[in-house]
Each structure stands twice: as structure tokens, then as C-alpha cells.
Homo-oligomer: A and B are copies of this chain.
Amino acid sequence: MTVSKRERQHAILELIGTREIASQEELRQLLLKKGWDVTQSTLSRDLRDLRVARVPSPQGTRYVAGDSGADDGSRAPLAGILPQLFLSLDGVGPMLVLKTVIGGAQPVASALDREASSDILGTIAGDDTILMICRSEQARERVARRLSTLAKRPR
């Protein structure tokens, strides 16, 4: 039944927040004492649904209720988001400054980081501005050319 599944998952989060649980079998035992009788299979699926992380350490591995795992747009490919968010591009020396719509800098910067171009030493992003440090002026020009091309592509 649907309701009990939710309640069970809630109970799981409580247990995980309260104690140090090392395995699904251990979790199963604890749930048993609380009246829930399910198999390890179910727990595996519950933990996946809840995105509960398994963190190993020299003191043993433990389950921890994660960040919420909301993977918003932070995994979108550059080519997909740049046309929507891009505003302008300019630079000096080895630095490139890209402006985006408000709130657009973080997703664009994270897409940029993921591409791991050797032309870019790193990026720092605020809310609507990204500073890219390039390896050289030449590198900056290459990056600028590529970004303007990507930005102009209509989706």
C-alpha cells in the first residue's frame, strides 16, 4: 500500500538521522523493531528513492540522508543552455568576462567547468557574471570564438 511506503521511508530517514547504520540488513532489523517487516530488496529501492548516500570512512561505512540530491539544471550541456542565458562576452589579457541573464552565471559556469578545457584555468561565477581565466590571450580568443558560436545557435 502506498501510504505505508511513505511512512516506512519516513521512518527510514528518522533512523538514519538518529543512529549510525552500516548496512541495509542492520536497517532492516531496526525497522522490524518498529513494526516494519520488509526485505533488503525493498530497502535498497527505498534508499535509492530517498537518495540516501553511503559514506565509507576508516571507522566504518554509514548511511547519511543527503542534500536532497536535487540535480536541477546543473548537469545541462553548455550548448543547450548558453543560447537562453547568454548576454555578452568581453575580455582583456587572459581574462574573459561573460554576462548572462540574472541567475544564469552558475549553471553556465558549471557547464563550462564540466567541459574541462585546457584553455581555461578556472572560472568564478557570481549571479549574472562569469570570470574565466584563460591560459593565454590566444586561448582566450579561442574560447571567446567558441562561446559566441554556441551562444548564437538557436535552439
What is the interface of chain A, defined by CB distance below 8 A to chain B? Answer: 18, 44, 47-49, 51-58, 61, 64, 66, 69, 71, 90-95, 97-99, 109, 113-114, 116, 121-126, 128-129, 131, 133-136
Query: Which residues on the B side are within 8 Å of A135 (C-beta)?
Result: 90, 92
Contact status B51-A95, CB under 8 Å? no
Contact status A123-B129, CB under 8 Å? yes
Contact status B126-A109, CB under 8 Å? yes
A-B contact list, 10 entries, CB within 8 Å:
A44-B56, A48-B58, A49-B58, A51-B55, A53-B55, A57-B71, A98-B122, A124-B126, A125-B126, A131-B133
Number of identical monomers bound together in the oligomeric complex: 2
**Can you name the residue of chain B whose Cβ is closest to the Cβ of A110?**
B127
Contact status B51-A53, CB under 8 Å? no
Contact status A134-B92, CB under 8 Å? yes
Apart from the given pairs A92-B136, A94-B95, A109-B126, 17 other A-B contacts in the complex at a CB distance below 8 Å:
A18-B114, A44-B56, A51-B56, A51-B57, A52-B55, A57-B69, A57-B71, A90-B121, A90-B135, A91-B121, A95-B95, A95-B121, A97-B122, A98-B122, A122-B129, A125-B126, A131-B131
Q: How far in angstroms is the closest Cβ of chain B from A139?
A: 9
A98 to B123, CA, bound (A): 10
Contact status A54-B54, CB under 8 Å? yes
Contact of A99 among B57, B66, B122 (CB under 8 A): B122
